[in-house]
Amino acid sequence: MPADYHMHTPLCRHATGEPIEYAKHAVAIGLDEIGFSDHSPMRQDNFDNWRMNLDQLGEYVEKVRKAQKDFPGLTIRLALEVDYLPGHEDWIRELATRHPWDYFIGSVHYVSDHWDIDNPAKLSEWKNRDAFEVWTAYFERLTMAAESKLFEIIGHADLPKKFGHRPTRDCTPLYECFLAAAKKSGCAIELNTAGLRKDCREIYPNRQILELAFQNGVPVTFGSDAHAPAEVGMNFAEAIQLARDVGYRECCQFAKRKCRFIKL
CB of 234 to Zn ion, least distance (A): 15
- Mode of pairing for the β-strands spanning 153-154 and 188-192: parallel
Q: How far is CA 7 from CA 12, 103, 193, 229, 230, in A?
A: 11, 13, 11, 9, 11
CB of 171 to Zn ion, least distance (A): 20
9 belongs to the binding site for Zn ion (CB under 5 A) = no
For Zn ion, give the closer residue by CB, 27 or 115. Answer: 115
40 belongs to the binding site for Zn ion (CB under 5 A) = no
CB of 19 to Zn ion, least distance (A): 15
For Zn ion, give the closer residue by CB, 40 or 107. Answer: 107
Binding mask 239-258 for Zn ion (x = CB under 5 A): --------------------
CB of 15 to Zn ion, least distance (A): 6
Q: How far is CA 2 from CA 25, 123, 191, 227, in A?
A: 15, 33, 11, 19
- Around Cβ 50, how many Cβ atoms within 10 Å? 16
Q: Are 191 and 235 within 8 A, CB to CB?
A: no
Amino acid at 248: Y
Q: Are 116 and 162 within 8 A, CB to CB?
A: no
For Zn ion, give the closer residue by CB, 33 or 118. Answer: 118
Give the count of residues interacting with Zn ion (CB under 5 A).
Answer: 1
CB of 118 to Zn ion, least distance (A): 7
For Zn ion, give the closer residue by CB, 38 or 172. Answer: 38
CB of 242 to Zn ion, least distance (A): 19
User: Would you put residue 149 in left (φ > 0), alpha (ψ -120 to 50) or beta?
Assistant: left
Burial code (b: 16+ CB inside 10 Å, e: under 16) for 106-123 equals bbbbbbeeebbbbbeeee
Q: How far apart are CA 260 and CA 241, in angstroms?
A: 21
Binding mask 91-130 for Zn ion (x = CB under 5 A): ----------------x-----------------------
For Zn ion, give the closer residue by CB, 50 or 91. Answer: 50
For Zn ion, give the closer residue by CB, 188 or 262. Answer: 188
Q: Which residues bind Zn ion (CB under 5 A)?
A: 107
